[in-house]
Each structure stands twice: as structure tokens, then as C-alpha cells.
Amino acid sequence: MDSALIPEGVKRCSPKVFFFWTLPWIALLLWGAVSAALCLLVGLNQTNMSDYFAFAVWIVVDLAIIALGAGAFFTGFLTYIIGKKELKDIINAAVIIGFICYSGAVAMLGIDIGQPIRGWFIFWHVNVHSMLAEVSFCITCYLGVLAIEYLPIILENREIKKVRTLRLAGENLHGIMAVFAATGAFLSFFHQGSLGGLFGVMYARPFDIRGGFYVWPWTFFLFILSAMAAGPSFTILCTKLTEKIARKHLVPEKAFQTLAKISGSLLCFYVVLKIIDTLVWVFGNVPRAGLSFMDFFKEGPYGVWLLVLEILVFGVVPAIILITPSARKSEGWLITGCLMNCIGIVLNRFTFTIVSLAIPVMPFDKFVSYLPTWQEWGVSVAVIGYGFLLFSLSYRYLPIFPKERELNAATK
Amino acid sequence: MELNRRNFISLMVGGVAGMHITPLPWKLTDDIAIWTQNWPWVPVPPAGAFNSAKSVCTLCPGGCGIEVRKVDGRAVKIEGRTDFPVNPGGICPVGMGGLQLLYNEDIRFTRPMKRVGPRGAGQFADISWKEAVGILSERIGGLRKKGAGEAIAAIDGNSARSATALLVERLLKAVGSPNYLRAPSLDDTYSLANLMMLGTDGPMAYDLENSDFILSFGAGLIEGWGAPGRMINAWSIWRDQETRGKVKVVQVEARASNTASKADQWVAVMPGTEGALALAMAHVIIKEGLYNKEFVGGYTSGFNEWSSFVIRQYSPEQAAAVTSCPAEEIRSLARAFAKSKAPVALCGRGKGTLNGSLYESMCIQSLNALTGGINRIGGVLVQDHLPLASLPDITYDEVSRQGVQKARLDHAGTPKFPYAQSVASLFAKEVREAADSRIDTLLVFGSNPVQTLPDGGLFRKALSKIPFIVSFSSFRDDTSMYADLVLPDHTYLEKMDEVVWPAGLQYPLYSLTRPVVKPLYETKNCGDTIIELARAIGGSVAASFPWKGFEDVVKHRAKGLFDSAKGLTGYKADSPVWKMMQKAEEITPDYKSFDDLWNKLSKGGFWYRPVHNYGRWDSIFKTATGKFEFVSTRLQLAIQGYLRQNQADSALSGLGIGAGAQVAAYPHYEETNAQVDTKVYPITLVPYEMINLASGSVASPPHLNKTIFDNQLLKEDSFAEINPKTASQLGIKEGDPVFIESAAGRIRVRVSIFEGAMPGCVFVPLGFGRIGWDEFTRGKGANPNDIILPRMDPVSGQPVWWKTPVKITKA
Amino acid sequence: MEKKHGPAKGNSYGMVIDLDKCTGCGTCMVACAAENNLAVRPDESDKQRSITWMRLYKVTNGKDFPYTEVSYFPRPCMHCDHHTPCVSVCPATATETDPHTGIVSQIYTRCIGCRYCMAACPYHARTFNWWDGYFPKGKGIERYLSPEVSPRMRGVVEKCTFCHHRLMRAKTQAYTEDRRELEEGEYITACTEACPAQAITFGDLKNPEHKVSRLAKSPYAFRLLERLGTEPKVYYLSTKDWVRKLGDNYLPGEFKPVSTVKAG
């Protein structure tokens, strides 16, 4: 039925199977659509956010997917700027994942702010000192860059390619991709950092406050680093998942190994710095604010275990797995390592958002708890649905894995 | 055109630029942003010319001065007034939120109405004033024709001795009913205690600002007692850098209230045992010879008799067992009190919205007598009532002459309650228990007994036995939900009304409220309604109300001030009255004629007399002995009168006196325990009042809900405070829903664990659990009044509401 | 620990709240709500979403009966002087520190509702409009709204402005009388005016003549979370050590009781 659209020489499932495959994702999207409509039309009272939890699950998801989507800029950087040729086999997937993550995040932010219609005031009345302004600028621009990077992949569709102008446009875009990769890397560097800066500059919250370099708190650099470490892992994970579901090889092992090695090395570097940062914070910043580290966990469900989990279990362990060549060469360990890496970064973003807001600063203030409403979950899971849907469509109709034909020729 | 790289880039740049040049997207983006800044459903308060009007707040008997900021004719803010003697600029949160009582159509009766739904449902239909007055006058006329004037009853919450209260009482008498009831208040207790010991029923005038030792037995000095604006200001003076340490404030209470916490010393005693503490202090003072020998020796009677009783029965050790206050603490407190220059002991529970105990007040007043603090600067001043002109005699006809002679339904004034003016709970009991409806028509004025009477819901239940209930309330309050007919009053911001001697004030003050805004709806000043009603009834009733309108009544009364006393109508903040009163000179009135005085009064003005004749101990006491009576002659007479009728009851149990005839005329401690099994009901329920929660007839303005903590009210649940020890004994945790159950019923609340709550007690705030009003108020929390056992304070007959045995079970 | 406030020229309005005098009555909160058209919802018991500019916190000394004591912290916006935490993070410049007055403003029509400022403020001085104002038709409760302060739309953050409109009011009055400087007490906030205990003193911290600047130098004066370095312009006074100790976080041994403060 849609065979004319499917890339040449590859096998895809029947339209019927594909249709059923998309149903759950469409359902998630619908749930999200209803939630979003409620939040936009009735207001944010549809959520369980509060004056204490001004940032909540949506910001956690935003921060997490932006970090995980960092695979796009970083792989692009490695491919086009550093010249890691083997990554060309995976760059398309990385770009699409990046696009999904960033567009999802921007859409969520649009729902998260109280006055989305005035969202552009950030640009019009910009406060250049605000980390959030920097984030907004960079994310918006980078989303544009990602769209441009995504465009040539779309233009490679069999039917679209038949239109000469479009084909030429695609080829031309491909030709200048290094420019966009460089732009993307630059923008990403700043907004990933600014996302970290977002918290580090809240100097009146002892749970967040960090020292820093010039206007950038250490969290600025740690967020960049952690995103660079986790992004490629997430790209590997997504690709591996696609391979599992499609039941075939799509990317040569070398690409995976390169990415995993870089991801692991960066994670090692990150974990070391993160541990130093945490120690400096625990023994420096925190007591300066009149608190001991354990004071943060006097009330509520959170505890030191959270940091142990984040840094040691989901930081040190995946770092070791990914830098150990024998470990990462085993597919099981590779996936475990990447997964743990991703979980670690999500935990990190969660801690900075939810835990830091949950911990009262005034001695007479009290801990209040927060659980998202179904509307908040709806918007959050819609991003997952959207991601699966867009990636599935791209995989089905676009030649995103250049080596797919080659790798699956033998089995034919 | 060949699409090469060069062309491609120019195409891209051109496209992007082109899109930006089109004005449409920019214009749209801008327009909808502007729309969000001007959403049509966000109200835009109309601008106009600012002006202001001065008046007096009558939401409580405190009568603080207010200044209402207005935009054209619309009131937008209530502020305290600095040119008013009572409160130098400050008012309480309830008064501050007053505009929300004015501008809220859902809580107000906008015109006369009659009930159309079942009672309590709050469904009413509009009728005209003519029809409303017609219905009521016909009903009253009909009863009078049958010679059954006494089947009309009224419950009145207007301040005692105010013009409106007098008109209500007058109406009842004129139609021939003895059943004029008043909602019980602390002023009743004060007056009664003064009558017993000083021989005058004048107001209790505490000269707190000039005192150096304020010993408060439960009065919420900073929680609404007296005039809040005055009291909190006084508190502030005591905490001034210069006065700090020179004035000592001691609070006796079972709970770490704000007053107890902010006082210099908190003395925790079991609820209801304050009298025993006072007696033990008297014991120490007498035994150690610390009392004022001049006063006690020369101007008191019964001292020897009473003191030997106190020495015998109220040693600090004996009292410690009753009050749970350590004997040593009692001793040191007594010494500190007696050795102060100008100590004053004052009684009263919480805000004073509800009555106190007569004997307890007498015990506490005894301390003032022992230290010679009666009519001394910084003590309790003996004051006469305001010299307002009395109203002309009532014209009686045959029906009314006979009617007023008939027995009151509540037995007030009978040998059982010889000095009581009215006993609302007994009235309710009689109505409810009588086989036939003894009361046909109940008129409700300025009160909200369904909500405020601490009688276990008795009054509310009695209403079902009354065929016709008429409300004169401005508000859709809890009692008017049961009304058959409503003749709505203006709110306090729309009418002229009197404030006769703000509660607890040490000098005579009379002030008038005035309409600060034009009445918003078709409501009518209650005084005018009464006059109109009397006219419609006609005959002698009409003849008893010869005035054109309410203002004439007020003006007539005010004339008395001009004729018989010298006062002032102006006030400057830099010379507070309590300072002026330190110099006992006569003053020159600042008005020339009565017209001048009236002119000033009728603009939200006031009249006060900032001088006082201290001492005069030889002439101020109007008792039988002409002295301050430790042993009250009046009480002796009452007991003799009672015993003549009830010879068998020599123990006086019918009077509720447990101590026996020997000591019945003494200030003594009465246990007044409920006749219930304390094994079944081991916990003591203690209702308490909060300054930021209106507990009287009028509900809190919604702004006050912001000040209520979430461990006081959470959604529909109010909280009860329990000591952690008691809570762990009961196995309950913070926030647990529980039932508090007494023999009279049960309420559902949540638990707030509070170290400052006395173990074995449960503290529940008064003011929640309203059934009228609107969504800001209705159905929020529980009303402890619903489960208070209706017991009576001996002699006064007023309810003992401050301790009820209850049990607590998990809900 | 006297800190300099604001720039060399202009005023630096601030507040001193005497906690010994504060009786916890809540009039300040009500006065503030009435003055500034604060929205009231039928249920105000959700304190995490209830709009208050001035909020009262109840504290206890934690001792057992009968040694328990309660006290209150009225908490307006602190109008932080140093690197105002909320101002520096706002992406859309919807909140600013006025260099001439030290007042931290909030522009409701510019606020996009990102709530970053709320996350940055450790005092919870900022509240978000989770709902549209509650003004049902036919109730007529909008009639008490003051035209001096515009009611807020949903989706924006609001906070105490030190009754900035009162400053404008006072200035207008002064200018019509051909004065450029305001007298002490000419401009005070609604809570200051309303407090029946006169616990709140308001004025120019930079003017040594003003009572507020004298009180701020008292050995009993302290500020909330002072060691975070936000430089609040709201000071508190308390002679009670346990109350003073609750004003900031202290490691064991760090807190200096008032007696030693006085001596030192």
C-alpha cells in the first residue's frame, strides 16, 4: 500500500502491523492532547504544581529529554567537525532523536508557562542575566537548526526525491551540514550549560548553590558534560531498541563502539568532577549557609541514598562498564551501561528540580509533598508517544540508516 | 534556474527574510499578547475621585474607629482611624475585611423575603416591605387579639443598652410579652459580678494601660477581648523598649494561646479552675498580710468571714490539686501581684463573645479588692452607665399590661435565677420540651443563636417547635436559614447605629456609626423597621413608638449626654485617654450646644469623658452595706429567697451550687462538673477563640481565610489541638480525622498535635461549622457549640461552655 | 551587622518588624489583601496555592507543656538588595529592583508565568495565579476592588510591592505641594498602617533620621536567611533567642544568644 514510500532495498512490516504499532503511541498523544488543552484553556490549576513546586514533573522531563537529546549535537560535532566517519552511520538517528527531544521539550515548556501566548516576551523584553533567557534563545535557535538538519533526511524519501528541486535542496543541505553541526554544537553547549546554570545561580537555595567560573556556576559545566556523556548513550539505546524491534542490524558495531567509548570516557570525566563538586558543596557551600548536609533530609522521603544512587550506582558503574572495551563489546553490557547512564542523568535532573524545591530553606518552613496529576502525566507521556511515532515514521519511510541494506544483505 | 548551492542559499535567506517582512504574523502575535493582558473576565476596578468617610466598626462590641477609603461612592478599603480614642489607628482582621461583608450579594438579604423552601434550606422569595411588615404586624395583632402576647419572643444580640436593643425590648413589652432574650455575653457576667460585690451593674472598666501588673484569667487580651484595636495597642505599649520590663502581663489559661505565649508569664491551669487559683492567691495575700489594709479594713464587708474560709480551704497546695498549677508558682504569683504598684486582675474567656462564670468573676474581683485596686488608677474603675436620656414610658393596653406580668419562659428573675436578665438555653429547653408550642413567633435581632449559643444545638432544635420565625439580619446567616420571614437590616457600613461603651473600656464613650456608603439594597435600619412595625400593629403599640424614625430615638438619647455630663468630641493621637485620665481634672466640653454635639456625633463621631474621680471608696459602693462586699448581701438574699421556696434543698443543688449554703454568698470556686461518667468521657473539650476567625453572629470575611493555617482548617475539616502525650495515649497522629463525642452529640475534626495544649484536653476553635453564608464560609469545619452539654453556671444561669467531658475516637 | 543599602543616591525603603510586639492577629495579611486586590478563592486552605503577599508563619519553641511558646513571623517580600535572586533570574525582565527606591517590582502584564523567580526565592514570597480571580457573576464581590492596583490574570506571578502605589500616591501629594522629598511616614505600606500593635516600622533605611534605620541597627535586629547574602530590606526584632535562632540556619555552636550579641 505504502510500498512506494518505503526506502529502496529495505524491508518494512506490513501497513496493517505498522498501523497497530502506532496505536498505543497515538493513544498517549491523545491523552497528552486532552491534558494540554485543559492546562491551556482552564489553567495550570489542572496540575498539582504549587508555589512550592513551581517547577515540577514537566521541568524534570524537559531537562531529561534535552540532556538525552544531546546525542544529536554531540554526534554531529563528532561526525562533521572532528571527522569520525564511522558515526555517519548513526548520525541520522541521532538527529531525529534530538529533534524529537527538543521539539517535545519546547512544546511542554509552552504548556508549562502560565502565559504561553506571551512566551515571546522572553525575546522582546529579554533579561540577558537570566539563565532561562539564554536557555530559551539557544533552544529555540537549536530547534531550528535541528529542523534544518532533519530536513535533508526527509528529502531523501523516495517519492520526494523524485521532485528535482527538492532533491537538489536536500543534497545542498547535506553539503553544508558541517555549518549547522557547528552552530548546533555551539548553541547546545550554551543551553545545556545554562540549564545547569539555572539551578547553580539560585544562590539563595543552599541545595543548589555552587561556586563557579565568571558568570557560570559549576553546574553549568557539569550539565554540559553530563549531557554529552548521556546523549550518545541514549542514541545507542534508541538505535538498539529499533534493531530489536525491527529484528535486524541497522548500524555497524563500530559506530556503536565509538559512541559508547566516547560516552563512557566523558562519563568518567563527569563523574570525577561531579564527585569533586559534591564534596566542595557538602563541605563548603552547605555549611556556609548554616546547614549540614544531613539537614536537607530532615523531612520528606528524600535522603542521601538519592545522591548515592545518582552518582555512584548510576554514574560510576555505567562509566566503568562503558570504558571497559570487553564490557561494552558485549551487547548486554553495552545496553546496561547506556541505560544506567541515562537513568543517572534523569536522576540528576530530578534531584535538581524536585528535590531542591522540596527542601525548605527557612528554618520554620515545612516540607510539602507533590505528586503529579493525570494531566501532568498526560503531557509528559505524550512526548514518549510523539517520539515513538515520529521515529517509527522516519524509520519506515526514510533511509535513516545508510548501512541498513548492506548489513541485511546477507540474510536476504 | 539551476538550484546550485549559491541559489539555494539565497533562496533560503530570501525566504526567511520575506516571512519576517510580512506584517501579519507579527501583528497577530502582538495582538493576542495584548489580549492576554486585557482578558475581559479579569475585572477592571472603575477609577474615580478618592474620598473617605469616618465611622465606627460594630462587628464586635469593641467599637473601633474606622476610616473607609472610597472611589466616588464605592468603598474600597477599611482602615483604622487615628483620631478615635479607642484605637489609635489599628483595627482587627475582621474589621479590616469588612467590605467583603458589604459587597457580596450571596451572603446578604437584598430585600424583604419569605421562605419558600424547607426550613434551613435557605430558599426565599422576594416580597415588598409593605407586605413583609403587613405579615408580621397581622400575626402579632392576631396573637394580641387572642390575649397571647407572651407567645411572641425575641432574641437580641444588639449591644446591651443600645438604642436598637432598647427598641426591641420595648416592642416586646408593648405587644405584651415578657420573653425578651439576650444572647449571653461576657458583659452580662461583668455586670452581675459588679452588682453582687459593688452594688452597681455598671460596665467593667479595666484601666489596663495604667496598670503595671496585668493578671488575666483567660481573657484573650490580644485575641479579641474588649476592643481589639485598644488592647493590641496597649500590648504594644507594654512591649515598647522604654516600658519593657516595667509592666508585667500574666496569662492564666489551659492552652498556649497567643496571649499566653506573648505574655511575660503563662500560668497553666485546668479549664474552669481559674477561680480556685484566684482564691489560693488570695490565701497567700491574706496570710502574708500583703493586702491593702486601708481598703480592706475600711471599705469592705465580710472580709473576716470570707478570709477565714479562704485560709481554711484554699491553700496553694489545696488549689494545686484542683488547678494542677504548682503551689510554689501560685505563691510567687500572688506575691508578685500584691507587691506591684497598680496590679489588676481581670476575668473573661477568649474574646468575651460568650459569658463567664459569676463566682469565678467574683473570686477574681476579690483580688482587685485585696490589693485596693477598686476605683484606683491602673485598677478596676467603678463607672456608672452613660447618661443617655431614657425613653418615654411605654403605653400599655390591657393585653400588654397582662402579658408583661406573665412568667418568663426561661425563669430569669425567679428565685432560681434571681439576677439573671435572660437564660437563652433554658428558654430553648422549655420550648423544645413543652408539649404545645408556647412560642408562636420568634423575632431574631442582631444575633445568630443557632451558631453561637453553646448549648449542644438545643436552640436550633427548639426552632422546629416555633411556628413562625422572623429574622432581622442583614446576612443569610445560620439562624436566618430557619426564618420564615426576613426583614433585613442594613449592614454596619450603611446605617446609623450606636456604640454604647466599648467592651472593657475604662472611660465612658459613646459613638455613632454612619452610612459610609448609600445602602446597596432595599434593606432598612432595624430601628426604623421596629418603629414601622409598631405603627402597623397600631393602638398602644404604635403609641409607644412616637418617633418618626430611628434617628430621632438616637438623637433623643444623645441629648442626655449633653444635659448631664461634660465630654469631648475631638481626640488627638498624641494624648491618649489613659494618659489624660492620670490628671483628674474636669474638662471643658469642645461643643457649644446640643446641635453642635449632634452635628459632630452624626458624622461617625463620638463623645467621651476622659476624667475620672478615683477613690471615693466611701460613696461608690451601692451595696446594702455601702461597702465592697466579699460576702454579697444580694446573694444572701437570693439564697434565702430560694430556700423559702425550696426548703428541702438546703444543699442548694437546685441552684447548681455545690459548695453549700454556708459559702454560697462568698466568692468561691464551683466545680460545675457535668453529670456524666468520666470513664466514658475522659477528655475535656475546651472551645477557644481566634482573633482571625469571627466567632460571633457575623462570619469571617473571606480574606481572613488566608490567615487560617492549614492545621486549623484544611478543605472542609477544622482541627482540634491535642497535646502529644494525650494523642499518643489515644493512638492518634497529626492530621488524623477523629470524632469528638459528648453526651450531646459528636463532631468530626482533624487532629493537630500541639505541645501547648494541656494534656487531657482537646481544644476546638469557635467560628467554624457555619450552615448559612456562601461558599467561602459554609460547611467549613465543625462547631464545638454543637456538642457542648447545656449546663448552667450557678445563679447567673448562663451556660458553662468552657469544659465538656468528651471522648475521642478515630473517624 | 549594618549593611549598606542601595545606591548612593535615592531611597532604600525597608521595614522592621518587632516580633515581640507582633501578636499574630493577621491584620497585616488582611490589610494587604484588601489593599492590593488579592484574589480569594472559596478554598484558601491549600496554602501552597493561596495567594498572599504578606504571610504569617507560626513558630513554637518546641518545649513541652506548660513551657510551650508560640510566636509569629510576618513575611512580606524581603525586597532583597544584593543581586536580588528573583530579579536576576527572570527571563523577561518582568521583575526589577528600582535603584531609586530599592523596591522590587513585578510587572504582571509582562510576566510569562515561568515561575523561575519563585524557585529562586527562598522566602516563598512569590505566589502564582493558578486560577483566574474568583468573581462569579451576580455576587458583586468585585465591587470592593481598588482601582489603584490592577487585578491579576491567571498564569502570572505576583508578590508584595511594598504598596508601591502608596509611594506614587504620596509622591503625587508631595509634588502638588511643591516638595520633592517625602516626610517620614508619608509613605507607608498597608500592613504597616494596619498593624494594631505598631509592630511594623516602615521608612527609608538610608535616612538616619528615619526610625526604621535606627531600629535596623538594634542588637536585637536580624534578617531572614541573612547568611545567604540576599540582603533583605526587611528586618526583624526579637529579644527572644529561640525566635532569633529561627531566622536563619545555624550549625551547632554558631548561634550567638542575644546577651553575647549585646555585649559584643
CATH number for the domain spanning A257: value is: 1.20.1630.10
Cell matching residue A195: 540549564
d(CA C230, CA B702): 34
pLDDT per residue over B353-402, tens digit each? Answer: 899 999 999 999 999 999 999 999 999 999 999 999 999 999 999 999 99
CB nearest to A115's CB, from C118, C156, C225: C156
B111: Cβ–Cβ under 8 A, 6 or more apart, which residues?
A: B126, B127, B128, B129, B488, B521, B522, B523
d(CA B155, CA B387): 26
The answer to whether residue B760 scores a pLDDT higher than 50 is yes
Interface of B with A in 11-30 (CB under 8 A): 29
Residue of C84, C78, C115 lying closest to C99 (CA atoms)? C84
d(CA B423, CA B400): 22
- The per-residue pLDDT of chain C, averaged, comes to 93
Q: One-letter amino acid identity for A85?
A: K
Q: Which band of pLDDT confidence, cut at 50, 70 and 90, is reported for residue C2?
A: very low
Boundary (domain end) residue, out of B484, B512, B545: B545
Q: Which residues of chain B neighbour C197 with C-beta distances below 8 Å?
A: 90, 222, 232-233, 235-236, 239
More confidently predicted of A46 and B184: A46
pLDDT per residue over C90-104, tens digit each? Answer: 999 999 999 999 999
CB contact under 8 A, A51 and C224: no
Q: Does A356 map to a domain?
A: yes
Q: What number of CA atoms fall less than 13 Å from residue A229's CA on the CB side?
A: 35
The DSSP output letter for C99 is: T
d(CA B473, CA B489): 6
Q: Which band of pLDDT confidence, cut at 50, 70 and 90, is reported for residue C263?
A: very low
Strands B497-500 and B509-513: antiparallel
More confidently predicted of A348 and B657: A348
The DSSP output letter for B154 is: E
Beta bridge partners of B346: B216
CB nearest to A121's CB, from C92, C130, C249: C92
List the CATH number of the domain containing B726: 2.40.40.20
B651: Cβ–Cβ under 8 A, 6 or more apart, which residues?
A: B658, B660, B661
CB contact under 8 A, A117 and B8: no
Least confident of A196-200, A211-215, A361-365, B91-95: A211-215
CB contact under 8 A, C144 and B223: no
Domain map (residue ranges) of chain C: 13-263
Q: What is the C-alpha radius of gyration for chain C, rounded to an integer number of angstroms?
A: 19
d(CA B105, CA B775): 12
d(CA B495, CA B488): 12
Q: Which residues of C239-261 are buried (b: 16+ CB within 10 A; e: fewer)?
A: bebbbbbbbbbeeeeebeebeeb
Quick one: CA dihedral A81, A87, A89, A95, positive or negative? negative
Interface of A with C in 123-142 (CB under 8 A): 124-127, 129-133, 136
Strands A216-217 and A212-213: antiparallel
- Peptide bond between residue C66 and the one before it cis (omega within 30 degrees of 0): yes
How many structural domains compose chain B?
Answer: 4
d(CA C246, CA B185): 40
Q: What's residue B677's pLDDT? A: 85
d(CA B751, CA B770): 20
Q: What's residue B535's pLDDT? A: 96
Question: In terms of domains, do B703 and B777 share one?
Answer: yes
Q: Which band of pLDDT confidence, cut at 50, 70 and 90, is reported for residue B241?
A: confident
Question: In terms of domains, do B426 and B489 share one?
Answer: yes
Q: Cell numbers 535533508 label which residue?
A: A152
Q: Which residues of chain C neighbour A287 with C-beta distances below 8 Å?
A: 251
A410: Cβ–Cβ under 8 A, 6 or more apart, which residues?
A: none
Quick one: CA dihedral C248, C253, C254, C259, positive or negative? positive
Ordered DSSP codes for B690-753:
-TTS--SSSPPPGGGGGGS-TTTEETTEEEEEE-HHHHHHHT--TT-EEEEEETTEEEEEEEEE
Q: What's residue A174's pLDDT? A: 82
CB nearest to A114's CB, from C126, C155, C228: C155
| Overall residue count recorded for chain B in this entry | 811
Residue of A88, A4, A160 lying closest to A403 (CA atoms)? A88
pLDDT per residue over C144-153, tens digit each? Answer: 999 999 999 9
Q: Does A1 map to a domain?
A: no
Q: What number of CA atoms fall less than 13 Å from residue B466's CA on the CB side?
A: 27
Question: In terms of domains, do B398 and B525 share one?
Answer: yes
Q: Cell numbers 439562624 label which residue?
A: B479
Q: One-letter amino acid identity for C246?
A: L
Closest-approach residue (CA) in chain C for B708: C45
Instruction: Give the rounded distance of the alpha carbon of A186 from its chain centre.
Output: 17
The DSSP output letter for B143 is: H
Q: What is the pTM of this model?
A: 0.94
The answer to whether residue A211 scores a pLDDT higher than 60 is yes
Dihedral Cα A107, A108, A114, A116, nearest 10 deg: 0
The answer to whether residue C244 scores a pLDDT higher than 80 is yes
The answer to whether residue C264 scores a pLDDT higher than 50 is no
User: Looking at residues A88-100, what average pLDDT do you find?
Assistant: 93
CB contact under 8 A, C57 and A203: no
Q: What's residue C5's pLDDT? A: 55
Give the domain extent around B715: 683-810
Question: In terms of domains, do B757 and B608 share one?
Answer: no
pLDDT per residue over B775-792, tens digit each? Answer: 999 999 999 999 998 788
Q: Which residues of chain A neighbour C86 with C-beta distances below 8 Å?
A: none
Three-state SS for A316? helix
Beta bridge partners of A216: A213
Mutate to test the interface with C, among A49, A115, A210 (most CBs of C within 10 A): A115
Interface check A50 vs C, CB under 8 A:
yes
Boundary (domain end) residue, out of B607, B627, B647: B627
Q: Which band of pLDDT confidence, cut at 50, 70 and 90, is reported for residue B235?
A: very high
d(CA A12, CA C185): 80
Q: Does A57 map to a domain?
A: yes
Q: What's residue B9's pLDDT? A: 75
The answer to whether residue B175 scores a pLDDT higher than 50 is yes
Cβ–Cβ under 8 Å, residues A36 and A27 = no
More confidently predicted of B677 and B301: B301
Cβ–Cβ under 8 Å, residues B669 and B275 = yes
Interface of A with B in 99-118 (CB under 8 A): 115, 117-118
Q: What's residue C8's pLDDT? A: 53
Question: In terms of domains, do B434 and B493 share one?
Answer: yes
Q: What's residue A412's pLDDT? A: 44
d(CA A305, CA A298): 13
Exposed (0-12), middle (13-18) or buried (19+): which is B405, by Cβ within 10 Å? Answer: exposed
Phi then psi dihedrals of residue B729, to 5 deg = -60, -35
Cell matching residue B258: 497567643
Question: In terms of domains, do B414 and B539 share one?
Answer: yes
CB contact under 8 A, A362 and C224: yes
The answer to whether residue B1 scores a pLDDT higher than 70 is no
Q: Does B41 map to a domain?
A: no
Question: pLDDT over 90 for what percent of chain B?
Answer: 83
pLDDT per residue over B139-162, tens digit each? Answer: 999 999 999 999 999 999 998 899
Give the domain extent around A38: 19-403
d(CA C107, CA C164): 12
CB contact under 8 A, B36 and A172: no
Integer CA distances (angstroms), B204 to B197, B380, B451, in order? 12, 7, 27
Exposed (0-12), middle (13-18) or buried (19+): which is C118, by Cβ within 10 Å? Answer: buried
Cell matching residue A271: 563523574
Ordered DSSP codes for B432-461:
HH-SS-S-SEEEEES--HHHH--STTHHHH
Q: Does A11 map to a domain?
A: no
Ordered DSSP codes for B754-780:
-TTBPTTEEEEESS---SSS-TTTTT-
Among left, alpha and beta (phi > 0; psi -120 to 50; other), residue B374 is beta
Q: What number of CA atoms fall less than 13 Å from residue A215's CA on the CB side?
A: 12
Q: Does A212 map to a domain?
A: yes
Q: Does A82 map to a domain?
A: yes
d(CA C67, CA C64): 6
The DSSP output letter for A15 is: H
d(CA A382, CA A386): 6
Q: What number of CA atoms fall less than 13 Å from residue B252's CA on the CB side?
A: 29
How many structural domains compose chain A?
Answer: 1
Integer CA distances (angstroms), B329 to B91, B129, B252, B269, B670, in order? 35, 62, 12, 11, 22
Cβ–Cβ under 8 Å, residues A334 and A360 = no
Beta bridge partners of C204: C13
Q: Cell numbers 533511509 label which residue?
A: A399
d(CA B748, CA B71): 44
pLDDT per residue over A40-69, tens digit each? Answer: 999 999 999 999 999 999 999 999 999 999
Instruction: Give the rounded distance of the alpha carbon of C212 from its chain centre.
Output: 14
Q: Cell numbers 522566602 label which residue?
A: C123
Q: Cell numbers 509552552 label which residue?
A: A110
Q: What's residue A164's pLDDT? A: 85
Q: What is the CATH number of domain C13-263?
A: 3.30.70.20
d(CA B32, CA C93): 20
Distance to chain B for A169, nearest Cα, Å: 7
d(CA C31, CA C195): 9
The answer to whether residue C79 scores a pLDDT higher than 50 is yes
Instruction: Give the rounded distance of the alpha carbon of B577 from its chain centre.
Output: 24
Question: pLDDT over 70 for what percent of chain B?
Answer: 100
The answer to whether residue B15 scores a pLDDT higher than 70 is yes
Among left, alpha and beta (phi > 0; psi -120 to 50; other), residue B657 is beta
Q: Does B516 map to a domain?
A: yes
- The per-residue pLDDT of chain A, averaged, comes to 92
The DSSP output letter for B475 is: B
Phi then psi dihedrals of residue B736, to 5 deg = -60, 135
Interface of C with A in 90-129 (CB under 8 A): 90-94, 110-116, 118-124, 126-129
Beta bridge partners of B382: B204
CB contact under 8 A, C228 and A203: yes
Q: What's residue A60's pLDDT? A: 96
For chain B, the 3-state helix, strand and coil shares in percent, each to the nearest 5, are 35, 20, 45
Q: What number of CA atoms fall less than 13 Å from residue A170's CA on the CB side?
A: 18
pLDDT per residue over B591-639, tens digit each? Answer: 999 999 999 999 989 999 999 999 999 999 999 999 999 999 999 998 8
Cell matching residue B670: 464551683
Exposed (0-12), middle (13-18) or buried (19+): which is C39, by Cβ within 10 Å? Answer: buried
